[in-house]
Structure 1
Amino acid sequence: MSYKSLQLLAFLTSDPNREHAGADMSRELGIVSGTLYPLLARMELEGLVSSRWEEGDPKDLGRPRRRFYRITGLGASAAARELAPLQMPPTGGLPA
């Protein structure tokens, strides 16, 4: 899994019940849209994230509708598996 994919999974698992707009994630993570949206599309096809379109008419909203993304249970499991080897050892230093 790529660094950007791991970064995205870590971000989404930090608050698994929250939905995130793609533009907000791009800004917060510093991942350009040309990288972020293909990652999200692939992760959605794999069942790692789900998405939904914001309700409302763009004319009433005064802007285009946003697409919101949330990590799935499968995505949370994958994140735990992929991110576990990257975790720092408990305090007390590195093993001898």
Structure 2
Amino acid sequence: MARSPNSSPHTRAVLAALLSAHPGPSYGYDLSRATGLKSGTLYPILQRLHAQGYLEAEWEDSPHSGKPPRHVYTLTQEGLRLAREKSERAPAAPRKGALL
């Protein structure tokens, strides 16, 4: 069993985006747009989740002629469990205008 990844807000955001796309694939560009994370933050998280067994990552030919192949990310069963667990434990975001 893989060890649980750091539950930083960035990691939780990536897991939430992957969960919302599940069972469909996710692409780095789509995950970046969904989370607001830049590639220097996003890709190390994806690599770590993959190395720990929470993600499957495969190369896919680009549907656009002349474009390079791209990675396709999908949650493994363990990753699906982790993403659900992290989404249940995530604190609710404060509502706009709410007193903190």
Q: What TM-score, normalized by structure 2, do the two folds share?
A: 0.75
Q: Unaligned 5+ residue runs, structure 2?
A: 1-6, 93-100
Q: Unaligned 5+ residue runs, structure 1?
A: 89-96
Q: 1:2 to 1:87 in 2, by over 3 A?
A: closer
Q: What TM-score, normalized by structure 1, do the two folds share?
A: 0.78
Map of 1:2-21 to 2, 5 A cutoff? 2-21=8-27
Match of 2:48 among 28, 42, 48: 42
- Tell me which structure has the larger Cα radius of gyration: 1
For 2:33, the aligned partner's letter is R
Match of 1:54 among 29, 51, 60: 60
Q: Match of 2:95? A: none
Q: Which runs of 4+ in 1 moved over 3 A?
A: none
Map of 1:64-79 to 2, 5 A cutoff? 64-79=68-83
Q: Match of 2:30? A: 24
Matched, 1:80 2:70: no
SS of the equivalent of 2:86 reads helix
CA RMSD across the alignment: 1.8
Q: Hey, which of these two has a bigger chunk of helix by percent?
A: 1
Give the total of aligned pairs: 85
Return the alpha-carbon distance in structure 1 between the equivalents of residues 69 and 22 of structure 2: 22
SS of the equivalent of 2:69 reads coil
Q: 1:23 to 1:7 in 2, by over 3 A?
A: same
Return the alpha-carbon distance in structure 2 between the equivalents of residues 29 and 55 of structure 1: 24
Percent identity of the aligned residues?
A: 33
